[in-house]
Amino acid sequence: MNLETANVNGSVVEFYTLLREMRGISLVAEKMHNLLCALQQKPQLSFDAQKLLYIYLSLQEDGNTRIPLNAELLYSKWEQKWNGLVVQHQEPCPSAEVFLPIIRKGVEDLAAGKYTQIIGEGATPLRLQQTPQCAYLISAKHLEDKNHIESIFKSGFFKESPLDSTAIPQAKEFVHGLLREGSPIRFDDRQAEVIARGVSQNLIITGGPGTGKTTVIGFLLWKLFASDADYLNWNLYMAAPSGKAADRLAESMDDTLREISAAARDKNPRFVEKLAKASSYTLHRLLKYSVSKGGFTFNSGNPLPEKSIYIIDEASMIDISLFAAFLQALPPSGNFKLFILGDPNQLPSVDAGAVLGNILEFDRNFVVKLIRSNRFNDDSKIGVLAGKIQRGEEVAFEGVSFDAHAPYWEATDSVHQLDLDQGQTLSRKEELNAVESLVRKWTKKFYAPLMDFASAVDPAMPSDKVTPEQRAIREKLWSVANQARILSAERRGNRGVETLNRMVAEALGQNASSRFVGQILIFNRNQNEFKLYNGDTGIVVKSELHEQYFLMLKKQSEYVFYPLSYFAEDCLEPSFAITIHKSQGSGYPNIMMFLPTRKGHPLLNRQILYTGITRTKKQSLTIIATPKTFKSACETVIERDTGIEL
């Protein structure tokens, strides 16, 4: 299709083909569209109505649960998406304005109430949701999910309670009395508020990276056990939307125990056992998803166990349907404790909805917002930058050209802003050369040592016979592998992770299409039989005894080795560079982040920028952008229409 001459006023097939050519809609959407058209027989859908349904399905794939049936509001939303698609294409494309007449006619047609076989009450797949602002088109499933979430929050499970003036000082005193000598932990008022409220309330605890969300949960559990010994007999379920996040939540309990004094641990061995043996689950595993049933085993008709403590982490990543399914499965008696953790400023869920952010729009005292970062102090350059971007303040980008001889990444808490373009339009070859020069320097600094350390690891050594020297080598290898990461908003292109990983491999003198010792790999899908999950990272080592490659991973403070032959080749990919989406929930001392090069790119937004910056742990942050693209990222906010009202 010639995009420049594409006619949006042509046939419905041509309209869909244009959206596909622009990568603005999926093949699944076509099947859903055809199903809706088949269901609506009398009268049949007009061409404008059919085209508007494609716009609805396209926006739904961006995470919106509904679209306004108001032409101006809908056009504003579609214009932003369409312009983002246009900037990703080299050839001329139709402007967003050509869609406005279609949107006006389509909105009028769908809102008229004549397509009752697909839009209405009862068994129709789509509904009209009336609001004071306008009517919305929403799927029956998403409307049901929205209503369930609203109902649960209004039911009293999350109650608002006053707090006694002495509660926060007493909570601080309680935590202080548990700490080992020399512990760096010092609770502020908001962290202490979690302890004070959590004894009697179910809570939502929010805050950025390093604000202590999981740390405070460990001490809250200890307080619950101390306040009522019966809680020791309750089930403790810790869950997250991904296996990686769930494992990290369980590991945080070990971190809590390390900060508690030996005297307190010796006095309360059952507390220690309860935290040390805490199991973690993905939400799907907690709810027991059944393929044969096509749904969850635990649901409103078969609720989760009573007398249980549920801790849910990374709530910003939970889509509306999974959020609703979990809340519906809670025991209707209310005889449970629930603590939900998340950062609404990070990237929302892959699927529809931005539930956590939507809920936090309503001021409720069952929400405790943690502010102080333990990762960055008040005058930290990285912390100050992250804070300004989070608050939407103006931030200047003073990008300098890259100097291959300059001493980058040496100072602690350093921020480097690099502009490879310097106001010029680089050819593809010039851009690749500039990026490659930067990647070579980064590789020499951070990744080159991996080869020697990985070569010294012996995966064939029995776990009960690991020597101190071998243990030290493994620790060093893991530390080096996790001291730095390259992030990019994009997978493809000159600055995408596929190109960046190839450049790193070549800088290491390796074939990018083959596995090699010292290569960092990441799983791109779950390996449930091994309890390995999408996002888990390992390092390639080689057993001379077995003459084969192994993947070394760290699980709950122990190093484990799996033959690479156990895994399908396409379930692992290089991760010297990873997408910013993939980095969510991780952290590295040194981060180098590439932003999209075109203003208006859909991945050039504040949530992407904030998430990338806050992956940095205290050492160095390098941002590759231009003043225009950085400004665009700061000013563009992902706004999903979820529609929850509390």
CB 317 within 8 A of CB 348: yes
CA 522 to CA 536: how far, in whole Å? 6
User: Would you mind telling me the total number of residues written for the chain in this entry?
Assistant: 646
How far, CA to CA in Å, does 45 sit from each of 10, 100, 341, 395, 479?
Answer: 16, 19, 44, 49, 60
Task: Give 56's contacts (C-beta < 8 A, 6+ positions apart).
Answer: 67, 137
Q: Are residues 85 and 215 in the same domain?
A: no
Which domain does 248 fall in, by range? 155-369
The residue whose two tokens read 């892959």 is 350
The pTM assigned to this predicted structure is: 0.86
Domain boundary among 313, 345, 369: 369
Task: Give 605's contacts (C-beta < 8 A, 6+ positions apart).
Answer: 633, 636, 637, 638
Q: Are residues 167 and 259 in the same domain?
A: yes
Q: Are residues 197 and 269 in the same domain?
A: yes
Query: What is the CATH number for 198?
Result: 3.40.50.300
- Domains identified in the chain, total number: 3
The ranges of the chain with pLDDT < 70 are 1-6, 378
Q: Are residues 612 and 536 in the same domain?
A: yes
Does 642 reside within a domain? no
Reported as a single tens digit per residue, the pLDDT across 3-50 is: 666 678 889 999 999 999 898 999 999 999 999 999 999 999 999 999
Q: What percent of the chain has pLDDT over 70?
A: 99
Cβ neighbour number for residue 103 with a 10 Å cutoff: 24
Does 145 reside within a domain? no
Reported as a single tens digit per residue, the pLDDT across 302-353 is: 999 999 999 999 888 889 999 999 999 999 998 999 999 998 888 777 778 7
CA 268 to CA 226: how far, in whole Å? 9
Q: Are residues 161 and 94 in the same domain?
A: no
CA atoms within 13 A on the CB side of 591: 28
CA 383 to CA 380: how far, in whole Å? 5
CA atoms within 13 A on the CB side of 30: 13
| Per-chain mean pLDDT for the chain | 89
Q: Are residues 355 and 211 in the same domain?
A: yes
**Cross-strand pairs, 563:** 550
Predicted pLDDT at 535: 85
Q: Are residues 280 and 301 in the same domain?
A: yes
Q: Are residues 582 and 612 in the same domain?
A: yes
Q: What percent of the chain has pLDDT over 90?
A: 56
Does 29 reside within a domain? yes
Instruction: Categorise residue 131: left if φ over 0, alpha if ψ from -120 to 50, beta otherwise.
Output: beta
What element of type H or E holds 257?
helix 243-259
Does 646 reside within a domain? no
Q: Which amino acid is at 291?
A: V
Does 579 reside within a domain? yes
Q: Tokens for 228, please give them.
A: 């009522």
Q: Tokens for 618, please give them.
A: 């205290």
Predicted pLDDT at 190: 93
Does 644 reside within a domain? no
Cα 514 to the center of its chain, rounded Å:
29
Q: Are residues 359 and 436 in the same domain?
A: no
- CA-nearest of 504, 534, 510, 506 to 522 is 534
Domain boundary among 139, 173, 191: 139
Q: Are residues 567 and 472 in the same domain?
A: yes
CB 342 within 8 A of CB 245: no
Does 285 reside within a domain? yes
CA 205 to CA 224: how far, in whole Å? 17
Q: Are residues 79 and 163 in the same domain?
A: no
CA 377 to CA 390: how far, in whole Å? 16
Q: Are residues 364 and 394 in the same domain?
A: no
Supply the DSSP symbol for 569.
Answer: G
Strands in 157-242 per DSSP E: 203-206, 235-240
Reported as a single tens digit per residue, the pLDDT across 572-621 is: 999 999 999 888 878 899 999 999 988 878 888 898 999 999 889 878 99
What element of type H or E holds 555?
strand 548-555
